[in-house]
Structure formats: C-alpha cells, structure tokens
Amino acid sequence: MTEAMAPGQGDVEFQRRLYSDPNPTRRGLHSTRRDWVLGEAMAASSPGDRVLEVGVGCGVFTEALAAAGRKVSAVDINPAFLANVESLESVATHLKDATLPLELGEHDLAICSEVLEHVPPERSQAMLDALFGALRPGGTLVLTTPQRYASVELVARLFRFKPILTLARKLYGSADELGHINLLTARQLAEQIQKAGFKPQKTRRFGFYLPVIAEFGGRGGAGVLRAVEALFRPVPVIRGLLWTQGWVLKR
C-alpha cells in the first residue's frame, strides 16, 4: 500500500505536536477527535480485550489503550511509528499493509483514525474489508476520516498552487498540503461500510475551520468556530463542511 503524506507527517514528533499546537483552533481540531475516539474505544472495550489499531501515528491511542489494560495489535506501514510503541507492555507491533487480510486473529475492538484518507481510492474498500475480517462477530470498529468537502480540506487544496502556498506561509507562519488522496463524503463512506458488512451504531461530525478566524482569532476565535460547528452539525449538506466524520460500527 502506498500512503500519501505531506512532508513531516511520517515523523512521530510531528504527529505528537498536533495535540499541543499553540493555535487553539488547530489544537482543538485534533484533540477533539482524539478524545472522541478514545471515549468510544474505552466504552466499547474492557481490560484484557484484544484491540487492533491500524495506523499508529505518534502512539497516542496505543499508549492510552495499553495503559488501560487492553492488549493492542499495532499495525502500520511506517517502521518509525511502530518502533515508538514496541516497548509498551501489552503491545504487539506488526509491519503490515492493512488493505490486505491482516491474519492476526479476531479482535474485540478496532481503531482506524485518520488513515483511510491516505489510502489510494481503489484500496479504500479493501481496508474496510480487512478491518471487518479482523474483528470477532459483534466486535466494534471506531473509524474517523475527513469529509470530502470540509472547509479544512477545501483550503488545503488551494496549497497545491505554489503562489497561494507561499502567501499562506507568509501570513500564517506555516501551511502545508495534507497529503489526503482518498476523501469521501459521508454517503460514499456509508456505502463502503455497508459493503464491508458493518452495521453503523453511531455517527459524529465535528471540527470547523475558517482561516482568518482560526489563525488570528485566538481563544475567542476558537470559541466562535465551535459555536458555528454546533449550529452546522444537525443541518444536512452544510454539515459536510465539518472536518471529521466519526463512525462506531459493529461487525
């Protein structure tokens, strides 16, 4: 499997800094997703359960799950991410392509957070199929991925044009392409989820971003964007502007 990542995104410290970004809006976008995933994962599992994590990143989920007594099968194609968590108790690391059958036995819970968007579109269904096959009957998958028309993603697409990227870096200090090559609408993802055999139990959409307010508004701006997010969340079509779609699925 070939993953598309922007420069630096394959680095453990880069990934970890996302949760301590000095900008409150950017920090909140990532922290809210992390907290939602962990909350759903803990609610759907118990100490001693086998948990599959596909896409380890900086290990934020691996560390929390292992500390809570879960037995974690950590899967990634990046050796650096696996090396970062291999010394954790109750964690087994596996350098594997998760668009192929994983052959790691059945798990009670699986987590796949912010991974699907890096998978070539023609392999997206295969990853969901592999996750389904790695769960026991009745097992749970906690899945998150960006929405295709989220405001963050629309802004990031403009960075493909070098003059715009240069201007953004001058204005904001930093700006990078996200390396997302498989952006799905909620409807498109729902179709793949159904085809894999999963039964949706819960959905959540969160995270709203507008460049000027986010980058220059400080805490006040972050609060404004959270309020707008709450207004958008129940509104069809408009809620597609929110960054993350979260799913809790049953096998």
Q: pLDDT tens digit string along 183-196?
A: 999 999 999 999 99
Three-class secondary structure of residue 143 per DSSP: strand
Confidence at residue 2, expressed as pLDDT on a 0 to 100 scale: 45
Do the domain assignments include residue 7?
no
Three-class secondary structure of residue 128 per DSSP: helix
Confidence at residue 147, expressed as pLDDT on a 0 to 100 scale: 97
Do the domain assignments include residue 3?
no
The yes-or-no verdict on residue 77 having pLDDT over 50 is: yes
CATH of the domain at 171: 3.40.50.150
Do the domain assignments include residue 133?
yes
Do the domain assignments include residue 21?
yes
Question: What gap in Å lies between CA 244 and CA 19, rounded to an integer?
Answer: 16
The yes-or-no verdict on residue 6 having pLDDT over 70 is: no
Taking residues 129-137, report their average pLDDT. Answer: 98
pTM, to two decimals: 0.91
* Number of domains into which the chain is organized: 1
Question: What gap in Å lies between CA 144 and CA 161, rounded to an integer?
Answer: 28
Question: What gap in Å lies between CA 29 and CA 182, rounded to an integer?
Answer: 20
Alpha helix stretches (DSSP H) within the chain: 12-17, 24-43, 60-67, 79-85, 124-133, 151-158, 162-172, 186-196, 211-216, 218-232
What is the domain extent for residue 171? 12-250
Do the domain assignments include residue 2?
no
The backbone torsions φ and ψ at residue 53, rounded to the nearest 5 degrees and listed phi first, read: -115, 115
Confidence at residue 1, expressed as pLDDT on a 0 to 100 scale: 45
**141 strand-pairing partners:** 110, 249
The yes-or-no verdict on residue 37 having pLDDT over 90 is: yes
Do the domain assignments include residue 215?
yes
Do the domain assignments include residue 181?
yes
Confidence at residue 157, expressed as pLDDT on a 0 to 100 scale: 77
Do the domain assignments include residue 5?
no
The yes-or-no verdict on residue 239 having pLDDT over 80 is: yes
